[in-house]
């Protein structure tokens, strides 16, 4: 857990990003994090399991007996086969032939890891990819458990290696997840170690394991580059979810980039190489032609990814949203329904399952149960939550603390908290990723204090140290400044073991903050809360002035 092991278990990002779940919240949708599920399955523990029953006999997905698209809610031998194939890639699913939320999660994870559009639908491309990459990987085992050796090294085989390969995939390395620590895995380990300031010896010991599990806010890789959420031309120097998607797609075309959401020199080189190999102008700018080429032959599970979400109350959405429609309005609808307890695939397609979820919601709220999402249903979906307004003219740094303090008490997973992602192009629930820097980005956007937005803590520190975007480092903190924490010390703010907030009060070495993605003092769900901090501790801090 690093140098802050004495902190309360629920504290901040580090304490709740190790596994895939926690009590009362859904599985976190992150690439390569099957470990918790696999560990429970291997231990014979299946959450929510009822009496054991035999799964339907497996049916090959490409046979005429299986539908063109296998989706959540179905139950058949086709789903049995799907679960077996996903488990061959380390998913650790209970094979019951039921396409539920855990199978949906595993499908999305697999699609993201193999550069298929992440829509949770198992169509022709996903089926083909599953068979093309099928293996017999042992069930993943958490590297930090007693079941794994102190040092995982080349030549080892088993579930510990499966987990290692899955985690390396999260950082952009393209590997066969087969549970066999060969030369390719050793090369990826050394590269990972070098990029994280570790001894590049290819041995996965305590420090390397910790770095593999530590994660900062990772931009979504499910954004469609062709949507309005992404710039028409993505160029060097940009950061965020669109860049993360770009890197993931390039990796699917044979590159080996770190999916960090930052368009740097390596990403530029990869873009130019891709453009050259596809007969495009090798200018390093990802415009319409390059985007189209990147998506060629990556059709995914029946669609091209969910359309970018659109606020239901905007003029871009119809007065009534009904079954049969497909748009960003439906993406937003499905996301909101999930906030209220539904478990839908967010694909922007208003099908029977979405219709059923709408009707359930309407009945729960005492509305007319007709499946039509009109004015009253829209209002109920947003509840008392007011979607974030556009940045006011001016306001600047003086308003940072006022805006941040007004959010105190906002609970993770609520529609209000999830709206913070709009600042960095994310439509995920805050229950699904680490979001402290997203919150800071949202506050900056609301005040107009800085044009900088990044879901990585390290990005904020880097730009402040460089003096960009009206950001600078200060040693005399005052209310309204931003403060970044490096829990491991060293002030390098890399490796994912970081956090960020906004200074509220200062008294000598002690200070209080307003932080998103932090522990509730009352022990309930995380959210936006006030914390007491100090500069005299085992962690390092840097204060960022916005002017």
> Each residue of 431-466: pLDDT tens digit?
777 889 989 998 988 888 888 888 888 889 988 998
pLDDT score, position 362: 86
Exposed, middle or buried by CB within 10 Å (0-12, 13-18, 19+), for 356? Answer: middle
CB atoms closer than 10 angstroms to residue 215? 22
pLDDT score, position 341: 60
8 A C-beta contact, residue 283 and residue 307:
no
Residue-averaged pLDDT of the chain: 75
CB atoms closer than 10 angstroms to residue 283? 14
Q: What is the DSSP letter of 299?
A: -
Return d(Cα 181, Cα 151) in angstroms, integer. 12
Q: Which two tokens stand for residue 153?
A: 């090294």
Return d(Cα 46, Cα 158) in angstroms, integer. 21
Regarding predicted confidence, which is higher, 437 or 27?
437
Each residue of 237-266: pLDDT tens digit?
877 667 877 887 787 676 767 666 778 888
pTM (two decimals) = 0.41
pLDDT score, position 202: 93
Residue from 275, 171, 296, 173 nearest 233 by CA: 275
- Which phi and psi (to 5°) does residue 170 adopt? -60, -30
8 A C-beta contact, residue 28 and residue 433:
yes
In the predicted model, is pLDDT for residue 116 greater than 50? yes
Residue from 547, 542, 532 nearest 7 by CA: 532
pLDDT score, position 423: 79
8 A C-beta contact, residue 260 and residue 275:
no
pLDDT score, position 306: 60
Return d(Cα 105, Cα 338) in angstroms, integer. 14
pLDDT score, position 49: 37
Return d(Cα 68, Cα 130) in angstroms, integer. 15
| 3-state per-residue secondary structure call for 530-546 | EEEEECCCCCEEEEEEE
Each residue of 167-217: pLDDT tens digit?
776 565 666 677 889 998 998 899 888 877 788 899 999 889 877 765 444
The pLDDT-based confidence of 481 (bands split at 50, 70, 90) is: very high
Tokens 């829209």: give the residue: 378
In the predicted model, is pLDDT for residue 159 greater than 50? yes
Residues 6+ apart with CB under 8 A from 148: 141, 142, 160, 163
Return d(Cα 71, Cα 50) in angstroms, integer. 22
Lowest-confidence segment of 133-147, 260-274, 276-290 by average pLDDT: 133-147
The pLDDT-based confidence of 419 (bands split at 50, 70, 90) is: confident
CB atoms closer than 10 angstroms to residue 281? 12
Residues 6+ apart with CB under 8 A from 272: 282, 283, 284
In the predicted model, is pLDDT for residue 280 greater than 50? yes
The pLDDT-based confidence of 50 (bands split at 50, 70, 90) is: very low
Residues facing 373 on adjacent strands: 321
- Listing DSSP states for 229-241 in one string gives TS-SSB-TT-BSH
Percent of the chain past pLDDT 70, that is, above it, reads 71
Each residue of 58-107: pLDDT tens digit?
898 988 899 988 988 899 999 999 998 887 766 677 889 999 877 887 78
In the predicted model, is pLDDT for residue 29 greater than 60? no
Each residue of 309-325: pLDDT tens digit?
677 877 888 999 999 98
Hey, which of 270-274, 290-294, 452-456, 537-541 has the most confident mean pLDDT? 270-274
Phi-psi region of 517 (alpha: psi -120 to 50; beta: other; left: phi over 0): left
Pairing verdict, β 498-507 and 482-486: antiparallel
Residue from 457, 459, 479 nearest 546 by CA: 479
**Mean pLDDT of the 217-231 span:** 61
In the predicted model, is pLDDT for residue 48 greater than 80? no
């Amino acid at each position: 857990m690093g140098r802050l092991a004495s902190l309360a278990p629920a504290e901040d990002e580090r304490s709740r990003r190790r596994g895939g779940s926690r009590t009362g919240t859904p599985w976190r949708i992150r690439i390569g994090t099957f470990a918790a599920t696999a560990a429970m399955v291997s231990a014979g523990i299946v959450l929510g399991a009822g009496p054991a029953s035999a799964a339907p006999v497996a049916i090959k997905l490409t046979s005429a007996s299986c539908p063109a698209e296998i989706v959540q809610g179905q139950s058949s031998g086709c789903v049995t086969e799907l679960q077996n194939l996903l488990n061959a890639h380390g998913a650790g699913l209970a094979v019951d032939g039921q396409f539920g939320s855990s199978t949906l999660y595993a499908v999305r994870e697999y699609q993201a890891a193999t550069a298929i559009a992440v829509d949770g639908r198992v169509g022709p491309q996903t089926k083909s990819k599953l068979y093309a990459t099928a293996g017999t990987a042992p069930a993943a085992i958490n590297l930090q458990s007693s079941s794994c050796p102190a040092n995982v090294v080349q030549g080892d085989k088993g579930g510990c290696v499966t987990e290692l390969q899955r985690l390396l995939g999260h950082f952009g390395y393209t590997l066969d997840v087969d549970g066999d620590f060969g030369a390719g895995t050793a090369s990826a380990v050394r590269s990972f170690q070098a990029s994280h300031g570790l001894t590049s010896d290819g041995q996965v010991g305590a420090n390397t394991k910790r770095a593999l599990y530590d994660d900062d806010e990772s931009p979504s890789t499910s954004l469609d580059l062709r949507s309005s959420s992404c710039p028409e031309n993505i160029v060097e120097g940009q950061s965020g979810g669109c860049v993360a998607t770009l890197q993931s797609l390039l990796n699917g075309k044979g590159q080996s980039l770190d999916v960090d959401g930052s368009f740097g020199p390596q990403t530029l080189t990869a873009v130019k190489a891709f453009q050259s190999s596809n007969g495009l102008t090798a200018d390093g700018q990802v415009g319409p032609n390059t985007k189209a080429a990147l998506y060629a032959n990556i059709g995914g599970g029946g669609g091209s990814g969910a359309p970018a979400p659109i606020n239901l109350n905007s003029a871009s959405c119809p007065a009534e949203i009904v079954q049969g429609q497909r748009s960003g309005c439906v993406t937003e609808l499905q996301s909101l329904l999930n906030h209220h307890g539904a478990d839908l695939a967010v694909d922007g397609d208003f099908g029977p399952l979405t219709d059923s979820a709408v009707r359930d919601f309407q009945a729960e709220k005492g509305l007319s149960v007709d499946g039509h999402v009109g004015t009253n249903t829209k209002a109920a979906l947003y509840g008392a939550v007011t979607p974030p307004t556009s940045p006011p003219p001016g306001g600047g740094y003086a308003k940072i603390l006022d805006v941040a303090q007004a959010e105190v008490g906002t609970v993770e997973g609520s529609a209000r908290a999830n709206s913070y992602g709009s600042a960095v192009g994310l439509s995920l629930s805050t229950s699904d990723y680490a979001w402290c820097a997203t919150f800071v980005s949202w506050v900056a956007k609301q005040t107009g204090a800085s044009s900088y937005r990044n879901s990585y803590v390290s990005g904020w520190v880097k730009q402040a140290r460089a003096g960009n975007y009206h950001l600078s480092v200060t040693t005399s903190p005052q209310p309204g400044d931003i403060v970044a924490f490096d829990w491991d010390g060293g002030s390098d703010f890399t490796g994912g073991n970081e956090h960020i907030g906004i200074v509220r009060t200062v008294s000598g070495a002690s200070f209080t903050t307003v932080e998103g993605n932090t522990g509730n003092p009352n022990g309930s769900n995380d959210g936006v809360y006030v914390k007491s901090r100090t500069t005299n501790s085992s962690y390092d801090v840097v204060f960022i002035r916005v002017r």
